[in-house]
Structure 1
Amino acid sequence: MLVATGKPKPEGAPELRRIVPDVVRQHAEQAAFFWAQRDTLMEDDPPDLHVVAGIDRRLEANLDGLRIAGPAAWPFIVAAYEDFPEKGELFLFTWMAIEQADKERISQAVEFGKVSNDNVRGSVGALAWHSPETIRPLVRDWIGAPDAFKRYLSVAACAGHGVDPKQMLARLVHDPDPRVRSHSLHLAGKLKRTDLVRDIVGRLEDEHEQPRTWAAWALTELGSGDLAMAELKRVVASGGPEALTALRAIVKIGPDKDVRAWMGGLLKAPETAALAVRGSGMLGDRTILHWLIHQMRNPALAVAAGGALLETFPEAREANLFTLDPTELGQAFEDHFGDFGARVPVADKVREWGHRDCSDKKC
């Protein structure tokens, strides 16, 4: 419970409230934990949106507790970040700074995000969690700022809310910073900005790989995928972090017969075989179940086959067909995964499920 002090506060000072410290500390710790958990779950392939929705409700309940505590929550938020400066704690710090419209804390949050490497997702997540109306003044201030990190945050915020920065986007796809260019190109594709096709085509020759990748992806969204095909196939062949994104773009623009033939070539090479297996789940072909079960027996392809299963057969998610301890599946799986646990489909369970639940369906 939070109890007001009843004491008058000096004019212009933030309103401080008497709180139960252990309760507010718990709100802060759980809010950081739940957002980090949510972010990790959203990176699953594919994510379980039902589970994510449950996490969202628990996260929002803890954020409500911090809203009620107001400025009195800051010592716990600061302590959480100092003790464990990870993405969840960065989300919490940034979210509260914006919630309180605290300019000094917002500046701190920006600096924390600037040096946080992968944890910058917390900064972006905080901007996405707030409403567009709340963050609009920040985005307007940052989108043309000399600081490349602020420009990046503004573009990421626009992408998170589906907001079109209008004429600014034509400048941002040519921004000096490659990360800003990449996210601006992604935003252009997401917003279907066909007026920028010529600019995006030019970025296929970008000196950095990530802008080239997102330029190619954007062109597929804008109906000009033929111009991007060579770059997309190169990204898939490289097996980098955007390989699945490029693969999905290729599947989208087809034609189906050509895509299947190309995937067949990927399947023959050990370094791209897993991508081919995962890509099979993007085709919407429910006749591949037995083929997928066969791939699940290969440790190097099992995770990809599991992702393909869940995309093709969403109902399989409720059937308890996966294990978090792949070493249970035999020595080959233990040798492949070692101490690094992974969520792996159990081929025999999938086969039994298929016989039981798919006998009257096209699968």
Structure 2
Amino acid sequence: MAAETRNQKLEGAPERPIVPDVVRQHAEQAAFFWAQRNTLMVDDPPDLHVVAGVDRRLEANLDGLRIAGPAAWPFVVAAYENFPEKGELFLYAWMAIEQSNGRRMEEAVEFGRQSKDDARGLVGALAWHKPETIAPLVRDWIGAQDAFKRFLGVSACLGHGVDPKQMLARLVRDPDARVRAASLRLAGKLKRADLAKEMPAALEDDEEQPRFWAAWALTELGSGDLASSELRNVAVSGGPDAMTALRAAVKAAPDRDVRAWMGSLLKSPETAPLAVRGAGMLGDRTLLHWLIHQMRTPALAPAAGGALLELFPESREADLFTTDPSQLGQTFEDHFGDDVAKVPFADKVKAWASAGGWLAAAP
């Protein structure tokens, strides 16, 4: 009660004068930049140079809010009330943690509970703060009766690579599917070999997410032979975990088996883009001739571009892509319509590769 009263007094009586328009801009920009960062990190592969630039802008605006202190709260609250999305939830939770404001933190937890994206902004705020800063929250949450708080506790450990030790053995069998999934993912990230015996049983889980992360964890632990079927199913499904599943599926089986599987995917228009994208995960730069050929087919061009970026990260520095597919001709314009897509110029890629010595001769 004393801490809550202190927080209320701090919010109502700023310790230093502020310029409201400047603080409002810091709040809005911080929410925007974190949401942008989160979206950029979903790209496969992400452009980490661009992400680093966004991080610098985000941190500069968070510094402005730190300077404003409790006086920033009205602007943080208004931002969330006006636009309750992931960036604004990140801002709300980040500020609550920064100010050690228990009441606001509980509000952020409830906002996260109501969100439809696994409280991405709230989890992001936990990952942004230092482990020692959020440790008291995580200790309270990870063993809580509330399943959502347990999920937050495991997600915080996942964001920082922190091992909850013996507690993780219980969490991978948690009654809540979301907690099980996050815990299995954490076990794989930490390479907890002592929990490998839990994974085959988790592959039989009634829920898709625990099954998928059990398969992913088995691959991280070197037992991909048990996981290949589940990983391939998730990759082909085209859901939000498809690229993660594809990458794990490539890792889970011998190269010859993976290439044979991708060959089968190429036979269907629905799965051919997956095979083209997966080619970039093989680490075989001799596939460049073939990828350039795929770039000339509108349905395969975005996947071929992603494979190029993975095999040749240096290609980011060249002017090889457009987000306006109509620039590549009528066939591309007809295929994409008004949709925005990042597609490579096949001829530019060919010229760049030839100049760099990646192509011995023009195909």
Asked whether the equivalents of residues 326 and 342 of structure 1 are also in contact (C-alpha less than 8 Å), the reply is yes
2:328 corresponds in structure 1 to 329
After superposition, the Cα gap between the structure-2 partners of 1:302 and 1:101, relative to the gap in structure 1 and judged at 3 Å, is same
Asked whether the equivalents of residues 219 and 228 of structure 1 are also in contact (C-alpha less than 8 Å), the reply is yes
2:285 corresponds in structure 1 to 286
2:303 corresponds in structure 1 to 304
Unaligned regions of 5+ residues in structure 2, if any? none
2:127 corresponds in structure 1 to 128
After superposition, the Cα gap between the structure-2 partners of 1:356 and 1:139, relative to the gap in structure 1 and judged at 3 Å, is same
1:237 Cα deviation from its structure 2 partner:
3.0
2:163 corresponds in structure 1 to 164
1:203 Cα deviation from its structure 2 partner:
0.4
Question: What is the alpha-carbon distance in structure 1 between the residues aligned to residue 152 and residue 328 of structure 2?
Answer: 44
Equivalent pairs: percent with the same residue? 74
1:178 Cα deviation from its structure 2 partner:
1.2
Question: What is the alpha-carbon distance in structure 2 between the residues aligned to residue 122 and residue 349 of structure 1?
Answer: 39
Question: What is the alpha-carbon distance in structure 2 between the residues aligned to residue 103 and residue 317 of structure 1?
Answer: 44
Count of residue pairs the alignment pairs up: 354
1:208 corresponds in structure 2 to 207
1:153 aligns with 2:160: no
1:221 Cα deviation from its structure 2 partner:
0.6
**1:264 partner letter:** G
Asked whether the equivalents of residues 123 and 155 of structure 2 are also in contact (C-alpha less than 8 Å), the reply is yes
Q: List 4+ stretches of structure 1 deviating above 4 A.
A: 359-363
Where do residues 58-77 of structure 1 align in structure 2 (5 Å cutoff)? Answer: 58-77=57-76
For residues 131-173 of structure 1, give each alpha carbon's deviation from its aligned partner in whole angstroms, at most 9, with x where no partner exists: 0000000011011112221111111110000000111111111
- TM-score, with structure 1 as normaliser: 0.94
Where do residues 58-207 of structure 1 align in structure 2 (5 Å cutoff)? Answer: 58-118=57-117, 120-207=119-206
Asked whether the equivalents of residues 147 and 176 of structure 2 are also in contact (C-alpha less than 8 Å), the reply is yes
Question: What is the alpha-carbon distance in structure 1 between the residues aligned to residue 224 and residue 23 of structure 2?
Answer: 51
Where do residues 18-97 of structure 1 align in structure 2 (5 Å cutoff)? Answer: 18-97=17-96
After superposition, the Cα gap between the structure-2 partners of 1:306 and 1:359, relative to the gap in structure 1 and judged at 3 Å, is closer
1:307 Cα deviation from its structure 2 partner:
0.6
**1:180 partner letter:** V
Asked whether the equivalents of residues 142 and 151 of structure 1 are also in contact (C-alpha less than 8 Å), the reply is yes
1:5 corresponds in structure 2 to none
1:262 Cα deviation from its structure 2 partner:
1.4
1:11 Cα deviation from its structure 2 partner:
7.9
Q: Which moved more, 1:242-251 or 1:265-274?
A: 242-251
Q: Which moved more, 1:228-237 or 1:19-28?
A: 228-237
Asked whether the equivalents of residues 239 and 272 of structure 1 are also in contact (C-alpha less than 8 Å), the reply is no
Question: What is the alpha-carbon distance in structure 2 between the residues aligned to residue 30 and residue 115 of structure 1?
Answer: 24
**1:247 partner letter:** L
1:54 Cα deviation from its structure 2 partner:
1.1
1:270 corresponds in structure 2 to 269
Asked whether the equivalents of residues 272 and 300 of structure 2 are also in contact (C-alpha less than 8 Å), the reply is yes
2:223 corresponds in structure 1 to 224
For residues 14-61 of structure 1, give each alpha carbon's deviation from its aligned partner in whole angstroms, at most 9, with x where no partner exists: 261210111111111111111111111111111011111111111111
For residues 47-84 of structure 1, give each alpha carbon's deviation from its aligned partner in whole angstroms, at most 9, with x where no partner exists: 01111111111111110110110100001111111111
Question: What is the alpha-carbon distance in structure 1 between the residues aligned to residue 296 and residue 118 of structure 2?
Answer: 35
Question: What is the alpha-carbon distance in structure 2 between the residues aligned to residue 207 and residue 232 of structure 1?
Answer: 16
Asked whether the equivalents of residues 354 and 361 of structure 2 are also in contact (C-alpha less than 8 Å), the reply is no
Question: What is the alpha-carbon distance in structure 2 between the residues aligned to residue 138 and residue 11 of structure 1?
Answer: 19
**1:310 partner letter:** L
Asked whether the equivalents of residues 224 and 253 of structure 2 are also in contact (C-alpha less than 8 Å), the reply is no
Secondary structure of the residue aligned to 2:29 is: helix
1:234 Cα deviation from its structure 2 partner:
2.2
1:296 Cα deviation from its structure 2 partner:
1.0
Question: What is the alpha-carbon distance in structure 1 between the residues aligned to residue 360 and residue 118 of structure 2?
Answer: 44
1:336 Cα deviation from its structure 2 partner:
2.4
Unaligned regions of 5+ residues in structure 1, if any? 1-9
1:3 corresponds in structure 2 to none
Asked whether the equivalents of residues 90 and 119 of structure 1 are also in contact (C-alpha less than 8 Å), the reply is no
Asked whether the equivalents of residues 228 and 253 of structure 2 are also in contact (C-alpha less than 8 Å), the reply is no
Asked whether the equivalents of residues 265 and 274 of structure 2 are also in contact (C-alpha less than 8 Å), the reply is yes
Asked whether the equivalents of residues 181 and 213 of structure 2 are also in contact (C-alpha less than 8 Å), the reply is yes
1:362 Cα deviation from its structure 2 partner:
11
1:236 aligns with 2:231: no
Question: What is the alpha-carbon distance in structure 2 between the residues aligned to residue 360 and residue 44 of structure 1?
Answer: 27
Where do residues 336-347 of structure 1 align in structure 2 (5 Å cutoff)? Answer: 336-347=335-346
1:361 Cα deviation from its structure 2 partner:
7.9
Secondary structure of the residue aligned to 2:117 is: helix
Asked whether the equivalents of residues 185 and 216 of structure 2 are also in contact (C-alpha less than 8 Å), the reply is yes
Question: What is the alpha-carbon distance in structure 1 between the residues aligned to residue 118 and residue 252 of structure 2?
Answer: 33
Asked whether the equivalents of residues 154 and 183 of structure 2 are also in contact (C-alpha less than 8 Å), the reply is yes
After superposition, the Cα gap between the structure-2 partners of 1:359 and 1:18, relative to the gap in structure 1 and judged at 3 Å, is same
For residues 94-141 of structure 1, give each alpha carbon's deviation from its aligned partner in whole angstroms, at most 9, with x where no partner exists: 100011010110010011111111272111110000000000000110
Asked whether the equivalents of residues 286 and 362 of structure 1 are also in contact (C-alpha less than 8 Å), the reply is no
1:223 Cα deviation from its structure 2 partner:
1.3
Secondary structure of the residue aligned to 1:282 is: helix
